[in-house]
């Protein structure tokens, strides 16, 4: 069970926000969401049934505007991708990408990954990506960060042995503390620092670079 703090309740990792979709994107969203979405709540997912194949499944946590999912799907047809975010706009953008590229290998989840993670069977995912997570910089907010012990434990459970947990962030304190959090979990190997060539630059990354911050990519392989 994902809890996150001693008060034994779910500690949210996102900032709620309401922003309306424009009329075009609203239509796309309404037309496609039922066909390409996975519900946040529900029984354990049968990924073979979801995708109709046995290809490896990657999970992008916090897909934001959806740019990476839209670029990854068509260029990695031998992989499946589940992209999740709380906010509707990115989900709608990905749905549009699914339609325009006739993608069969991409699904979206509009919801909280802390809830969704419970739907994955043990050792069912090949990769989990946490790219430019909300930084929660203030010390009293840091318990809201995604890479905290309870979430890392759940990532270890759902990743296959040999599967990879990836983080990219331009907040030095974030990656350094994440390295410590993951090191405390015996499932993961030593961190590796390299950027996958398919990880395109997103708006968040570009903004950080403009403001003088350097992105750092860290990954950990589940070893046991």
Ligand X SMILES: C[S@@+](CC[C@H](N)C(=O)[O-])C[C@H]1O[C@@H](n2cnc3c(N)ncnc32)[C@H](O)[C@@H]1O
Of 67, 134, 150, 197, the catalytic one is 134
CA nearest 123: which of 97, 160, 170, 89? 160
- Residue in the block written with tokens 């509009």: 110
Show the beta-strand stretches assigned E in 62-124: 79-85, 106-110
Which residue stretch of 51-59, 60-68, 72-80, 158-166 sits at the interface with ligand X (rule: CB under 6 A)?
A: 60-68
112 binds ligand X (CB under 6 A): yes
Q: Is 134 a catalytic residue?
A: yes
* Min dist. Cβ of residue 224 to ligand X (A): 26
CA distance 90 to 51: 21
Q: Comparing C-alpha atoms, which of 184, 196, 178, 192 is closest to residue 221?
A: 192
Residue 134 makes contact with ligand X by CB under 6 A: yes
62 binds ligand X (CB under 6 A): yes
Cβ distance 216 to 169 under 8 Å?
Answer: yes
Choose which of 204, 208, 215, 216 interacts with ligand X (CB under 6 A): 204
Q: What does the alpha-carbon distance between residue 206 and residue 203 come to, in Å, rounded to a whole number?
A: 5
Q: How far is the CB of 54 from ligand X (least distance, A)?
A: 26
- Which residues here bind ligand X, judged by CB under 6 A? 13-14, 61-64, 84-87, 112-114, 131-134, 146, 202-204
Which residues are identified as catalytic?
Answer: 134
């Amino acid at each position: 069970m994902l809890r996150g703090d001693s008060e034994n309740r779910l500690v949210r990792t996102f900032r709620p926000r309401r922003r309306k979709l424009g009329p075009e994107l609203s239509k796309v969203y309404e037309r496609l969401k039922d066909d390409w979405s996975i519900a946040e709540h529900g029984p354990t997912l049968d990924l073979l049934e979801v995708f109709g194949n046995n290809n490896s499944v990657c999970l992008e946590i916090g897909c934001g505007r959806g740019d990476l999912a839209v670029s990854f799907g068509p260029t990695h047809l031998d992989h499946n991708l589940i992209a999740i975010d709380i906010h509707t706009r990115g989900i709608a953008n990905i749905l549009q990408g699914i339609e325009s590229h006739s993608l069969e290998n991409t699904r979206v989840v509009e919801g909280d990954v802390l809830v969704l993670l419970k739907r994955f069977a043990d050792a069912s995912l090949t990769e989990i990506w946490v790219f430019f997570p909300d930084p929660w910089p203030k010390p009293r907010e840091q318990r809201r960060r995604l890479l905290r012990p309870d979430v890392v434990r759940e990532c270890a459970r759902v990743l296959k042995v040999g599967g990879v947990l990836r983080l990219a962030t331009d907040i030095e304190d974030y990656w350094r503390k994440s390295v410590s959090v993951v090191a405390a979990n015996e499932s993961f190997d030593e961190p590796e620092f390299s950027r996958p060539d398919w990880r395109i630059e997103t708006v968040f990354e570009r903004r950080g670079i403009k403001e003088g911050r350097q992105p750092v990519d860290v990954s950990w392989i589940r070893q046991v």
